[in-house]
Structure 1
Amino acid sequence: MTGGSTGAADPYRLDGRVALVTGAARGIGAAVVARLAALGCRVAAADLADPAGPAGPSGWEAEPPPGEGHTRHRVDIRSADSCAELVAEVLAAHGRLDHLVNNAGVVRRGPAAAMTDEDFAEVVDVNLTGTFRVTRAAHPALRASGGASVVNLGSTNGHIAVPDTLGYCLSKAAVMHMARVLALEWAPDGIRVNAVAPTIVRTAMTEDVRADAAYVRDKLASIPLGRMAGTADVANAVAYLLSPAAAMTTGHTLFVDGGAVIH
């Protein structure tokens, strides 16, 4: 692919392309996998959860997308070796890699003054350094693609100061800025890099705060459109930024937030 076109009439289609999605077992990652597959992409879905293990809260909640050619992989993005092995598996299975979605992440809540070194380090290691590890490992394959694209999952928490989530806020601000730096460095390689930053999404990661009626009331009051983002909202934004329709878009963060960052 050159010049941002697959040769298809519809610039939003991803036919013949291969995408790697991390954190794909559930929630936003599972929605992204399903959306990319629906657009004709072959998807390598990766997660810390073992694809051969039992389904459930700690396993793969989503069924594989319909169609042939999709694969599932286990990866621990806290390990550079695991990230390199993942990319090698994807290339062995698919022969190429055109798109990367860095969705894997964790959150630890609590006041900054009481946060332990271990909790802070874990969030930064997974959300920020883990994103870097996967992206670095994927770079040679993406460069060989001839028109690759990367999307990092950020958050409105990376733009707006939110209490009791210091490590998460800082890590998400960093992966959004990482997209800008890599967009600059990798433009000569034909690789676009962007970020998507949703507001609160109805997933397992937000189950605890969504159980707090006062929190939900205040949160929705801060969103002009008055609702949470759905996983489909996020998946559609990711698919757009990966697609040829966004061929001249790089180094940007697309907020999927109902207007929350207007304030």
Structure 2
Amino acid sequence: MADRSILITGAASGIGRATALRFAAGGWRVGAFDLPNSGIEALADEHDNITTGVMDVTDDQSVRAGVASFAESAGRLDAVLNNAGILSIGQFAEIEADRHAAIIDVNVTGVMRVAHAAHPYLAKTPGARLINLASASADFGVPEFASYSASKFAVRGLTEALNLEWAAADIHVCAIWPSFVRSPMLDDVGETTSMQRLGISLTPDSVAKVAWRAATGRRRLHLPVGLLYKLLFVSGQWLPFAMKRLSMRLITGY
């Protein structure tokens, strides 16, 4: 796999960083991107296979420049991990409207920008993959995560649509669905009822392992992460809506 390459957004910490190191250790060339002042440059010192760069997924020019520079230097683009994301937890009406808009811009429009910019390079690579970070909160609207949950529902829909559209170009599109991950994203927020009941047991390495399978294993559309959530996810595909709603009520306390 020495000639294979993956571009990862939001790679300075958490899931992005863990995934960059996992793929670098597996022999892939890794393009690790994040915002200015995120400390992304330090990641290049962790492994010779990692190249770092600055990318703001809310800026189309920044995205296109970053994707082009890495794809052209690597000579091919086998996979992209759309990992960049932001989160605010709390009552919807108590969070500023601009913050809700920012969450959508990063978590939804940012994913679209990266996918759009990467498509020409992925289309040149047989068996290429676009991997999007969804979330357990894309399965049912989660209170106190309203805009984040909405953004991940959008990622789910985009993933399913692009997987059909891009099949003709031999690009497989899939989504990873972790529940709560012990990462910097949750460091500065309080625990909600759903966090307490589901637990924050996953680590960034747990998600990185699933990202590796998404890039190298058999083609699956949705990949839930964590034993408890896997059970909820699979049962949710078959349960009537009322039963699914009851399950979510027990988890969220609403």
What is the TM-score normalised by the length of structure 1? 0.82
CA contact under 8 A between 2:123 and 2:171: conserved in structure 1?
yes
Aligned residue for 1:145, secondary structure, equals coil
| C-alpha spacing 1:109/1:172, structure 2 compared with 1 (3 Å) | same
Answer with 122-131 or 102-111: which moved more.
Answer: 102-111
Could you tell me which amino acid in structure 1 is paired with residue 142 of structure 2? V
Identity %: 35
1:19 aligned residue? 6
Q: Does 1:142 align with 2:122?
A: yes
Give the equivalent residue in structure 2 for 1:235. 208
**2:24 aligned residue:** 37
Tell me which amino acid in the other structure corresponds to 2:73. A
Residue 259 (1) aligns with residue 215 (2): no
**Structure 2 runs not aligned, ≥5 long:** 236-246, 248-254
Q: Secondary structure at the match of 1:208?
A: coil
- Of 52, 68, 72, the match for 1:92: 72
Unpaired stretches in structure 1, ≥5 consecutive residues = 1-13, 51-57
Relative to structure 1, the CA distance from residue 60 to residue 70 in structure 2 (aligned partners, 3 Å threshold; closer, same or farther) is: closer
- CA distance in 2 between counterparts of 1:191 and 1:147 reads 6
Could you tell me which of 186, 204, 212 is aligned with 2:184? 204
Which residue type is aligned with residue 156 of structure 2? Answer: M
- The more displaced of 127-136 and 227-236 is 227-236
1:130-176 deviations in Å (ceiling 9; x for gaps): 00000100000000011100110111111133222211000011112
Q: Which has the higher contact order (CA 8 A, sep 6+)?
A: 1
Deviates more, 1:86-95 or 1:181-190: 86-95
| Cα deviations by residue, 1:161-217 (Å, 9 ceiling, x for unpaired) | 3222211000011112211110000000010000001111111111134x54xx47x
Aligned length: 232
* 2:136 maps to amino acid: T
Measured after TM superposition, the shift of residue 220 of structure 1 is 4.6
Partner residue in 2 for 1:125: 105
Contact 2:20 2:50 in 1 (8 A): no
| TM alignment of 1:28-67, pairs within 5 A | 28-50=15-37, 58-60=38-40, 63-64=43-44, 67=47
In the alignment, is residue 219 of structure 1 matched against residue 188 of structure 2? Answer: no
* Aligned-residue RMSD, C-alpha: 2.0
Compare the two structures and name the one with the higher helix fraction: 2
Pick from 167, 175, 185 the counterpart of residue 195 of structure 1: 175
State the TM-score, normalized to the length of structure 2.
Answer: 0.84
User: Pick from 168, 174, 183: which aligns with 2:148?
Assistant: 168
Structure 1 residue identity aligned to 2:228: G
**Partner of residue 157, structure 1:** 137
CA contact (8 A) 1:99 1:148 kept: yes
Cα 1:173–1:69 shift into 2, 3 Å: same
